[in-house]
A and B are shown apart, each in its own frame.
Chain A
Amino acid sequence: MSVLFVVVPLALFIAFASVMAFVWSVQSGQLDDLDSPAIRMLHDEAPQARTDREASSEEQAA
């Protein structure tokens, strides 16, 4: 059972890392507004213009 002495600190380290990630997301304002992003993600973007490289590679394929 001595594996516990390794696994428990490891688990706690992961927990610590996720708490840090949470703190970061709060400080950077990601959680200030919980309603709008949920709506915003439903908006379709206008189709992006193809980049030149994509266009040329398609031409080559053709």
Chain B
Amino acid sequence: MVAADPRTPEGRQRDPTGPTAVACTHCGLPVPAGRVKPGTTPAFCCHGCETVYQILHSEGFAAYYDLRDSLPEPATETASSSYAEYDDPAFLERHGQPQPEGRLACDLYLEGVHCAACLWVVEKALIREPGVAEARLNFARSRLRLVFDPTVASLARLARRLASLGYPSHPARENAESAYRSESRRLLVRMGVAGAVAGNVMLLAFALYGGWLSGMDPVHRQFFRWTSLVVTLPAVSYSAWPFYRSAFNGLRSGVLHMDLPISIGILAGFFSGTWHTITGVGDIYFDSVCALIFLLLVGRRLQLHQQRRASESSELLFALTPSSARRLDGDGAAERVPLEALRPGDRLEVHPGERIPTDGVVEAGRSSVDQSLLSGESVPVSIREGDEVWGGTTNLVDRLVVRATQTVEASRVGHIAAMVSEASGTKAPVVQLADRVAGWFVAAVLVLAGMTYAVWSWLDPAHAVDHTVALLVVSCPCALGLATPLAMTAAIGKAAREGILARSGAALEHLGRLKGARLFLDKTGTLTYGRMRVVAFEGDRGVLPAVFAAETGTSHPVGRALLDHAREQSPERWVRTEFESIEGGIRAVVHPADGAAPEAEGTSIVLGAPRAVLQHALAPSDLDEEVRRWTREAWTPVWLAIGGRVRARFAVADQVRPEARSALRRLAARGLKPFILSGDHPEVVRAIGRQLGLPAEHCTGGLSPEDKWERVRAHRGRVIMVGDGVNDAAAIAAADVGIAVHGGAETCFAAADVFLSKPGIGSLETLLLGSRRTVRTIRTNIGFSLAYNLVGATLAMAGLLNPLVAAVMMPASSLVVVTNSFRFRFQKNEARTRSRRVERPGVPYPI
């Protein structure tokens, strides 16, 4: 459902006569007095809400209002960027590719592309803009290709349009893209050629098999054999080229590569077939050679895709900082410079809503800064002259002048980006079982082939080549080569159906092998909801409407918690006429207004931290016990004073998700050791740990992103990291298996191996069990193919195997492996039926 969000400033044109006690039918916010029509039940705070309501009604979706169990989420104040740098000539030169007729093509990466409707909205909205020639969104990869006329259209305006629809964009780097595209196309052509050849040669082979049983005119037989030879040529020479190349490269560097026996098998099969064709004696194996080439190329293509996805997502790290900064020169004039040009000592201007380009010290201005990027906590921090600010954090309230103390690379966020890419790059390569076996396998087959040929040329020279070829064909590692990637591909597909998106099968395999590993969990957003809520309330419920009025329109997390609580607990709506922000709280004058007596004298209230409230009011003396209890639980107390007396007390806290405790217990029962790593206050972390049943020494708070990374690295080899924020990204990348949970930052997804698209850690157990089952499937696959090769090779060496039979056996063994891989289920049966009823979650990022 896409509509102009009524709560954005553009969508809302409030009547200036002040709010009333009537709640908007659509969003629940107070309706301005001028918009209340007497006697009508649906009332709307703004035109936007009314439009949405009417659309829903006219489309027959009115049931929405009956079905919904919560009001729409208040629009979160996202860092609304102006995208001004997108119109910079330097930016366009770097990211745009010139097109005919003076147009520019530009690739953007979009956040938030989920479904078919996204594709529709993005393309339709952009193509309507003047100067846009083409807008194509690659759905699976969330990449938008825009072709536009820079003299007519402004890229910044297009980006703002996208952002207003809910798709923030980042420039996509182009350099690796074209290389990947041509590589992918080349491989696809090789695969297509091999497939066509394999199909046709197989048809010809059927005729020959038929002739073998029922007799065949030698002229026709030779004709079919020669035709097969000619048709096979492109597959053997062109399609199989990558195998020869990597086998040769492997030989040169002294490594027995998987591609070596493949190459030998292909070439031996082809040349002996050719020889038999020319001489007219003996069998040909062109069909199995071609099928082998085709199947192996299919596997290669899957592999290439996976690698691409992994590398592509790391690009998101560059979206952390803006791509240009405004530098102030001596007389205060701002000049736009690329980030790379920033030097320590530069004075930078940062407008509200913008990200701070690099680390520095505030020279002028007071504001709030959202540092969730580094701390993981969503409470904004107040900033004044002389305070340090970090690059990548968002300036929320007012203009700041910042003196840079670091270049962008040396800033904290630069360090984190470096850590993430270093950690992903040096991640201990998952040594796959197949790769470990392959070296020995190759050597064994080659030695055996040599022995077979030597022995048989002494026993029976006429059949020596036949038996050797039969050995090479039957011990073709086709099934062995397929065993691991097929099981992984199947597992990835099944996991996706459970809402678990794995970037690579290797991550699943690795997770399945980790026994007794440490499970490091982030707190905020992973174990908790990541959102403040009122968890305890003492006092008279009659004060709630006053709280509602006082906190209306707040963006502070604690204020929002109070607002939600008041809205849920009390239907009455008051309005406020005066509002003042004080140190640690707010002061407001509120009215029990039903529109009747707006002139009546209001009630003056003070709401905030006890320390702040006590400066304006007296506290009752019996609070000690309760305050102690709340402190023990690490809840944030908020007091409400009316007329100089404390009248109500709220405890606000970020609550633990209900399933977290049992999920952790089950994971512990499966042999994992859970730990909490959090950037929050250690006291809070320990309290959460207690609720989850974790010992205090397993709960560490006050950790910076660097500390988390350090801890994960210290236990490298047996670490799983689960998190959701940018501050977890480095740790997630460094862990053996990094898992990102629903609702987190895109950078965190980029660093993770696995993404859970259901909120919370409830599906971790499914993931763990599924991974272990994947490992079992891989083992049975490899066991079977090794057994098949062993038996086949023994028969061939004994001279009991006709090369033709060997050629039939080979695809049969692959078929068994395929069946076994797709047979297994990611989840057990009873759990499946339960999860089917759960609505399939959208795919929140391209994977």
Which residues of A are interface residues toward B (Cβ below 8 A)? 1, 4-5, 8, 11-12, 15, 18-19, 22-23, 26-27, 29, 31-36, 39-40, 42-43
Contact = CB atoms under 8 A, between A and B. Distances in A.
B217 A1 contact: yes
Interface in B171-223: 181, 184-185, 188-189, 192-193, 196, 199-200, 204, 217, 220, 223
Contacts of A11: 200
B228 to A, nearest CB: 10
B75 interface: no
18 contacts: A4-B223, A5-B223, A8-B204, A8-B227, A15-B199, A18-B196, A19-B192, A27-B185, A27-B189, A29-B185, A32-B138, A35-B140, A36-B119, A36-B137, A39-B119, A39-B120, A40-B119, A43-B124
A43 B116 CA distance: 9
Among A29, A32, A35, A36, the most chain B Cβ lie within 10 Å of the Cβ of A36
Contacts of A32: 138, 181, 184-185
Given A23-B189, A39-B119, A15 B220 contact: no
Nearest to B120: A43
B220 A36 contact: no
Interface of B: 116, 119-120, 123-124, 136-141, 181, 184-185, 188-189, 192-193, 196, 199-200, 204, 217, 220, 223-224, 227, 231
Nearest to A19: B196
A27 B35 CA distance: 60
Nearest to B199: A15
A26 B192 contact: yes
Top 7 nearest A-B pairs (CB, nearest first) are A36-B139, A35-B140, A39-B116, A22-B192, A35-B139, A33-B138, A19-B196
Main SS class of interface, A? helix
Contacts of A27: 185, 189
A15 B185 CA distance: 20
Given A1-B220, A4-B220, A36 B138 contact: yes
A18 B199 CA distance: 13
Given A4-B220, A8-B227, A36 B136 contact: yes
B306 to A, nearest CB: 15
B182 to A, nearest CB: 10
Contacts of B181: 29, 32
Contact of B188 (A15, A31, A33): A31
B192 A23 contact: yes
B211 to A, nearest CB: 11
Contacts of A36: 119, 136-140
Most buried by B among A23, A26, A31: A26
A39 B193 CA distance: 28
A31 B187 CA distance: 12
A32 B183 CA distance: 11
A34 B184 CA distance: 13
A32 B139 CA distance: 12
B116 A42 contact: yes
Contacts of B123: 40
Contacts of A23: 189, 192-193
B847 to A, nearest CB: 12
Contacts of B217: 1
Nearest to A35: B140
A55 B231 CA distance: 56
Given A23-B192, A27-B189, 12 more contacts: A8-B223, A15-B200, A19-B192, A19-B193, A23-B189, A26-B188, A34-B140, A36-B119, A36-B138, A36-B139, A39-B119, A43-B119
Contacts of A22: 189, 192, 196
Contacts of A1: 217, 220
A36 B189 CA distance: 21
A7 B124 CA distance: 50
A3 B184 CA distance: 41
Contacts of A4: 220, 223
Given A5-B223, A19-B193, A42-B116, A12 B140 contact: no
A32 B136 CA distance: 12
A27 B182 CA distance: 9
Contacts of A12: 200, 227, 231
A35 B223 contact: no
B117 to A, nearest CB: 9
Contact of A26 (B116, B119, B137, B185): B185
Contacts of B189: 22-23, 26-27
A6 to B, nearest CB: 12
A55 to B, nearest CB: 25
Contacts of B196: 15, 18-19, 22
Contacts of A26: 185, 188-189, 192
A40 to B, nearest CB: 7
